[in-house]
Every structure is written in structure tokens, then in C-alpha cells.
Structure 1
């Protein structure tokens, strides 16, 4: 579906977040900026795609973790509609893996909700002008892990089951693998995450965004 040309004037912002108070706070902030206006809001990824089609915003502020369709899925969906869409992630999740997924899906920036108001409005202007914006702590984490071996889909699936409290035998049965195979893959996971036990592996995996918090 084609998107209508964007009119000249203030930066038109779509706010996507599953918390109404967050949306209200951002809306009030935008109202105080002479060069910005809110043109729509959504509470999940599916609503975000529909709102993007309806409002044709200049910049979309997108949360990552939401019920139903996630923010990262919504980013990919919006970018499939318009390759020119400019999306700025605004989230509480500081994990470098989440940030990398969002950027690969098409996000132009990744900010944490702990940022000050001035940083957010500056980031909106920067993304609107075609630049990329990443929180310093996210940029540091991305650089720190840039050369790490990524977890495979199977290893991530095993980690999720470990996080659920499943034993090696239960994981093997669930994934139709041998217990020895699970042990070998856990050894690989521990090496990639630089940990020595299951509990620490889950903690680091959640912190970095390999698995859901």
C-alpha cells in the first residue's frame, strides 16, 4: 500500500507504547515543541502498523516489548510498507541483542526511557534529518560484544527452556534431542556468554536480550 506524501511543517510523530502514561507523557512533551506534533498513537505492534498507514508520520517512536506483535516485528512491518520510514526505538531494555535486532529490522535509533527530555527531542530531530541515534550505553554494549559468536536459534530455544526451570532431560525430550546433545549445546552457550552455570547464563541472556526478561 502506498503512503501519501508527507506535508511540510512540524515533525509528525507516531507514539507506540503499551503504557498509556508513557504515551501521555511523550504527547505532552511534543506539544511543547514548536517543530513537532503527535499524529497518532498505538499500544502494540499491529496497531502501530495500522496507525502508520493512516497517519504517515515523519518519525515513529517504538517500544520493543509489547503484548501481541512486538516492536521489532512492527519495525519490520512498517519498513516493508515504506523503506523511507524513520523509526526511533524508545525502551527500558538496554540489551545489545535487542538493539541489534531493532537496527537490523530497520530502526534508525535506539534510546532508553531513562534519557532526559532534551535527549529525546534532539533524537527525534536527528532521526527526522536522516541521522542515526544510539544511547551511549547501548553503543558501548554493541561495541563490547561486536566480535562475540552469536547464539544459534537452537541455543536460544534451549536457554528459554532453562529459564523456565526445565532439566536437561526435559529439554531433550521437548526438543527431540539426546541429553548429551543438550549438555554439549549448554557448554557452547556458557562459552559464548562467558558464564559457568545455568543461573548466570539465564541472567546474562535476559540482560542482553537473547531471551525475554
Structure 2
């Protein structure tokens, strides 16, 4: 396909090597030009800065494309909720990068295949009901059944029913096993690990 109108892109990745690589690749891409941030249709950055930039670029109708090593479901969903429009892993191909830039510039959400299922309506969280997910999130913070029941305004028996559903859907054998599985899959927030991951 021949593109006649160039996409205006600003690259602001904090990793110097990734920044240089992105610029070099985009300079060779068809109908893509690098511009100042105020003129950009698409701003490419990392996860942490992507969250911050998503709010800022709305002022000039720009859209954020994140290129990162972070692929945990919790963090992908958080980025999308904050307004990030594109999400690529650093292992993406050149054609995928260009496709993401074009899609995002047109107002579409672009997710690379490894994280595509994490969008709303897909992924492992979607298998849980809203209440099951609520219970799981609280369970991951260390709350007991009584505390979960109090926080959600439901009975302890209802909490147990939801926990049973969570365990069945995750294939867990116990409460702690459910939290371990959910954390590994990125369904719940692993605060310590995610603090390190979001620096990338």
C-alpha cells in the first residue's frame, strides 16, 4: 500500500540504544517523518513515560505508542486505561513498529500479539466475573475472607463462592496458589516487581 500523507512522529524513549534504533528504523519507513512533540501525531516512549505522556499529548491530539519490555497483563491494562493507544514489546519487528505507528495515528488501538488478549474483553481477567476479580484483587493484598466481605459489602459465604470460582478458572488448588498464579500471569499487581518493571 502506498501512503501519501506522512505520519508525524516524536520519539522520546529514555533508553539511548532503543531511542537511536527507533529513530533509525523510522527514518527508513515510508511516509513517516520525525517532528517536535507539539507537532506529533504519535509519541513513542517507554512504559513509565507513556503513562505520563498519554495525558499530556491530548492537548495537541497526539497519541502515545509504548515500546517496552513490560508485558504483564495488569500493566498493559493499566496503560490502556490511562490512554495509551499502542503497545509494542521491544522484540517487535520493523513491520510491526510501522504498522503500530500507522494504526495509532489513525486513532486505532494497536497491541502486539503477545499482549493482544489483555485488552478489555479478552485475556484471563475476562474469564472472571467482575466480583470474582474484585475478590481476587483483595485476596492478593493479604486480606482474609471476613475482611474481603467487609470491604465489598457481601457475606463471607459469598466470598467463599467467588473464591471457588476464581480457583477453578485459574486452575488453583488453594487461595495462595490462586494469588501466585494470578501474579505470574499479571492479573493482579505485584507491587515490588512492577515497580522495577515500570522503570523500563
* Aligned-pair CA distance for 1:101: 6.3
Residue 5 of structure 1 is matched in structure 2 by: none
Residue 187 of structure 1 is matched in structure 2 by: 164
Q: Pick the aligned partner of 1:37 from 7, 27, 34.
A: 34
Alignment of 1:22-171 (within 5 A): 22=15, 24-32=16-24, 33-34=26-27, 35-37=32-34, 39-40=36-37, 55-61=38-44, 63-64=46-47, 66=48, 71=51, 75=54, 77=55, 81=59, 85-96=62-73, 99=76, 107-115=84-92, 118=94, 121-127=97-103, 130=106, 133-139=110-116, 145=123, 148-152=126-130, 154-171=131-148
Alpha-carbon separation, structure 2, partners of 1:113 and 1:210? 21
Alpha-carbon separation, structure 1, partners of 2:104 and 2:127? 34
> Alignment partner of 1:165: what SS?
coil
Q: Deviations over 1:26-79 (max 9, x none)?
A: 432244343543635xxxxxxxxxxxxxx2422123545x49xx83x864x468
Q: Deviations over 1:112-158 (max 9, x none)?
A: 23335x35642454336636643222246779848953441x43343
Alpha-carbon separation, structure 1, partners of 2:11 and 2:172? 40
Two-structure CA RMSD over aligned residues (Å): 4.1
Residue 10 of structure 2 is matched in structure 1 by: 13
Q: Which blocks of at least 5 consecutive residues in structure 2 are unaligned?
A: 191-200
Aligned residues of 1:91 and 1:112 also touching (Cα < 8 A) = yes
Alpha-carbon separation, structure 1, partners of 2:184 and 2:36? 33
Q: Which blocks of at least 5 consecutive residues in structure 1 are unaligned?
A: 1-7, 41-54
Matched positions, count? 179
Alpha-carbon separation, structure 2, partners of 1:58 and 1:204? 39
* Aligned-pair CA distance for 1:186: 1.0
* 1:164 to 1:156, Cα distance in 2 relative to 1, 3 A: same
* Aligned-pair CA distance for 1:104: 7.0
Alpha-carbon separation, structure 1, partners of 2:7 and 2:112? 24
* 1:182 to 1:79, Cα distance in 2 relative to 1, 3 A: farther
* Aligned-pair CA distance for 1:187: 1.5
